[in-house]
Amino acid sequence: MSLKDRVTEDMKAAMRAKDSERLSTIRMLLAACKQREVDERIVLDDAAVVGIVDKLIKQRKDSIAAFAQAGRTDLVDKETAEMKVLEGYLPARLSADEVNAQVSALVAELGAGQALGPGDMGKVMAAAKSRLAGKAEMALVSAAVKAALAK
């Protein structure tokens, strides 16, 4: 069963359970998936759905920070609940050590025969994004790439 099918089944289960908070979050996710399918005229695979979930979680984190700064605890709680539902659709994440190991291997691969420096950040990040998308948080990957290129 694809991830998109699982989300659809979870939506049906939330409807049956009359879990309105979970249902609204799942509907929002499905709407984002459908919007991307219509805009790009494609059928999303699991990796693309994970990318959308990552994007939505990042939006929730940004909103939580803004609402917390404004003292809106009611909205912080709502956004946190949505984020927890969305995190249930992400695959297991790599630890910081695993990300560092993957990035080091990638830098060695790309820099075979030449030294890579801080100017090669874009080149390494593009390769890291294709290899680690959905497996690790990109902020963590970016920090690991900066550290690896600074050596």
Convert the pLDDT of each residue in 24-45 to its tens digit: 999 999 999 999 999 999 999 9
Asked whether residue 9 carries a pLDDT value surpassing 90, the answer given is yes
Mean pLDDT of the chain: 90
Q: What is the CATH number of domain 96-150?
A: 1.10.10
Report pTM. 0.79
**Which CATH number is correct for 3-87, 1.10.1510.10, 3.10.580.10, 3.40.50.720, 3.40.309.10?**
1.10.1510.10
Give the model's confidence band at 115: pLDDT under 50 very low, under 70 low, under 90 confident, else very high: low
What number is the average pLDDT over the span 50-56? 93
The reply to whether 96-150 shares the fold of 3-87 is no
CA 88/CA 141 separation, integer angstroms:
21
Domain chopping of the chain, boundaries: 3-87, 96-150
